[in-house]
Amino acid sequence: MDFGIAVGTLLAFCLTYVILKSGKMWRRARSLPPGPTPLPFIGNLHQVRPWDITKSLMKLHKKYGSVYTVHLGQEPHVVLCGYQAVKEALIDNSEIFGERGFYPVFYNFTKGDGIAFSKGEKWKRLRRFALHILRDFGMGKRSIEERIQEEAQYLVEEFRKTNMSPCNPITLVGRAVSNVICSVVFGNRFDYEDKNFTLLVSCIQNNFTIMSKISGVLYNFYSDLMDYLPGPHKDIFTNFEKLTDFIEEKVKKNQESLDPNNPRDYVDCFLIKMEKEKNNSENFFNMNTLVMSSLILFFGGTETISLTLRYGFLILMKYPAIAAKVQEEIDHVIGRHRMPSYEDRTRMPYTTAVLHEIQRYADVIPLSLTHELTADINFRGYNLHKGTQVTLLMTSVHRDPTQYQDPDKFDPTNFLDANGRFKKREALMPFSAGKRICLGESLAMTELFIYFTTILQNFSFKSLIPSEKLDLTPLGVGLGNIPIPYEICMIPR
Ligand code: HEM
């Protein structure tokens, strides 16, 4: 065939493809809530900047209101904004808004297995089982609290070793937090210098960072194309493979020493369940769901808490008067020598308010995880169809001016009443809400309180730069809001 004819045929083919694709995209867009006009292939990339996705979506919220459509890549997403709309969806219509949506960067690896990224009956069974086991192993009970208290003391010792010299808290805090989930899933903590453990924690931290930056966000928009391109997003899958190897190795060890009458941890319980269910025609308990569920517990349970604590330290370096007031309450209620317990929070309204305000202000998971509709629904005048992808703009809940007087200001009085008592706010949803609400909420709250109070009981924070110059703007804004790396001096009290 003549070269010119070949090129012409190819161009005609590409053009037809683009027209068909665009036609389909625009037809679909017509039946969805209004939003910026998408372009073929790129969707709304010209309005939604991948390095600044939350800010871009907040800007569109101002223009289009509480419900609008945006094409992330070629996939239309209905974006819900502000406390009222998010509550109406996740809480008032929890069944319909409660399915997991498509999140390519996780799907590529999990293939829809494990607690967080499975759907339907499989998800229900895996989630119920995990909650049951986590509770039995002490989630919200004393035994896990003791493990957190013990780990908090290890962390204090490690910070003491810094001898007041500047340190980035990311490594130590990550290891301390990860050790708690290690005790639940594997039944033991690790030494902070253990080579396999440090690798595990750094893989989690690296993946969280990449997913929160441009290449992770772009992967979610254009996964088909990105699979063929080099870049940091490739490391995500290598890191997940390393984590899987670590987990598989641990599972093998558990299998070798398993006593069905005396389960030691989550992995043992899962192995026993696998054996029980092996003849069940609808069996969701297999090696793959065990490995993926353990991996998600690690991933979900490490960087989220570590990030909140690191943001908290940074905020308190910027506002030393607030830190001093928390320390005053700690000294008054707990003293300098007794280990803080979760029960103490009931007598510490100011500290509790500061922690809640840190969660609101840091807003560590600004877009939650994508949801999907399980049925058609008329929502706020729009007919939305089963299977529609829903993005929850949590930042717009946490910065909702109808809920908070001055939402861009860090202000613990948001969570205090006129008498200085702690005041709960419905418009605080760091763990999301409804059917898919974070499975680790109570474990996370216990950890946050105990780590935060133990550290402030033992140290004051000193910044290397004047506090007014500390920048609280997040660095990464995709999966997570990551604070700009900083150094802190831990000054023993
Ligand atoms: C401050 C700490 C944490 C924050 C801010 C956080 C936040 C979230 C958010 C926003 C979601 C998505 C919910 C949705 O789809 O609507 C989620 C899901 C999840 N989180 Fe957390 N999380 C934290 C700690 C933890 C811990 C400690 C664990 C492990 C025990 C954990 C395990 C999970 C799991 C398994 C899911 C998936 C739930 C499902 O799909 O049913 N998270 N988390």
pLDDT digits (tens, 9 = 90+) for 148-174: 999 999 999 999 999 999 999 999 999
Q: How confident is the model at residue 25 (pLDDT cuts 50, 70, 90)?
A: low
Predicted local distance difference test score (pLDDT) of residue 16: 56
**Cβ(158)–Cβ(140) under 8 Å?**
no
CA 117 to ligand 1: nearest atom: 40
Interval between CA 439 and ligand 1 midpoint (Å): 5
* Residues 6 or more apart whose Cβ sits within 8 Å of residue 182: 188, 189, 190, 197, 298
CA–CA separation, 435 and 426 (whole Å)? 16
Residue 139's pLDDT is 47
Answer yes or no: is the C-beta of 45 below 6 A from any ligand 1 atom.
Answer: no
Ligand 1 atom nearest 139 alpha carbon: 30
The better pLDDT of the pair 220, 91 is held by: 91
Percentage of the chain surpassing pLDDT 90?
80
Ligand 1, atom 20, lies closest to the CA of 438
Do residues 245 and 276 make contact, with C-beta atoms less than 8 angstroms apart?
Answer: no
Measured by CA distance, the residue closest to atom 41 of ligand 1 is: 436
Q: Report the pLDDT averaged over residues 28-44.
A: 87
Q: How far is the CA of 311 from the centre of ligand 1 (A)?
A: 18
* Mean pLDDT in residue range 353-370: 97
CATH architecture of 48-492: Orthogonal Bundle (1.10)
Region 439-447: mean pLDDT is 95
Nearest in space to 170 (alpha carbons), one of 286, 285, 313: 313
Query: Does residue 444's CB lie within 6 angstroms of at least one atom of ligand 1?
Result: yes
Q: Is 431 a pocket residue for ligand 1 (Cβ < 6 Å)?
A: yes
Give mean pLDDT, residues 328-348.
97
Least confident range from 73-77, 138-142, 333-337, 409-413: namely 138-142
- List, for residues 177-197, the tens digit of each pLDDT value: 999 999 989 888 999 999 999
Atom 27 of ligand 1, nearest CA residue: 301
pLDDT at 206: 93
> What average pLDDT does the segment 39-55 reach?
91
- Cα(38) to centroid of ligand 1, in Å? 31
pLDDT category at 278 given cuts 50, 70, 90 is confident
369 CB within 6 A, ligand 1 = yes
Is 127 a pocket residue for ligand 1 (Cβ < 6 Å)? yes
Whether residue 140 is predicted with pLDDT greater than 50 in this model: the reply is no
Mean pLDDT of 20-47: 79
381 sits in the region (left: phi over 0; alpha: psi -120 to 50; else beta) called left
Residue closest via CA to ligand 1's atom 19 equals: 438
pLDDT, residue 24, reads 59
Which two structure tokens, joined as six digits, stand for 376? 């058609």
Average per-residue pLDDT for the chain: 91
- Determine the distance separating the centroid of ligand 1 and the alpha carbon of 397, expressed in angstroms: 17
In Å, the largest CA–CA distance within the chain is: 88
Mean pLDDT of 459-470: 94
Which pLDDT value is given to residue 7? 56
Q: 431, 442, 452, 479: which to mutate for ligand 1, most atoms within 8 A of CB?
A: 431
CA of 119 to the centre of ligand 1 (A): 16
One-letter amino acid at 385 equals H
Mean pLDDT of the 293-313 span? 95
Q: Would you say residue 354 has pLDDT above 80?
A: yes
Q: Rounded to the nearest whole angstrom, what is the distance from the C-alpha of residue 285 to the centroid of ligand 1? A: 21
438 C-alpha to ligand 1 centroid (Å) = 3
User: In the structure encoding, which two tokens stand for residue 250, read together?
Assistant: 């641990």
CA of 300 to the centre of ligand 1 (A): 6
Lowest mean pLDDT among 72-86, 105-119, 349-363: 105-119
Q: Which pair of tokens denotes residue 454?
A: 């133990």
Which one has a higher pLDDT value, 335 or 21? 335
Is a pLDDT exceeding 80 seen at residue 31? no
Average pLDDT over residues 226-235: 92
Residue 437 pLDDT > 90: yes
Per-residue pLDDT at 22: 57
Residue whose tokens read 């073929």: 40
Residue 364 CB less than 6 A away from ligand 1: yes
What is the structure's pLDDT at 425?
A: 97
Q: 56: which strand partners?
A: none
CB atoms within 10 A of CB 66: 19
Higher-confidence residue of 26 and 170: namely 170
Q: Which of 119, 122, 438 to mutate to test the pocket of ligand 1 (most atoms within 8 A of CB)?
A: 438
Q: Report pLDDT for 342.
A: 95
430 lines ligand 1 (CB under 6 A): yes
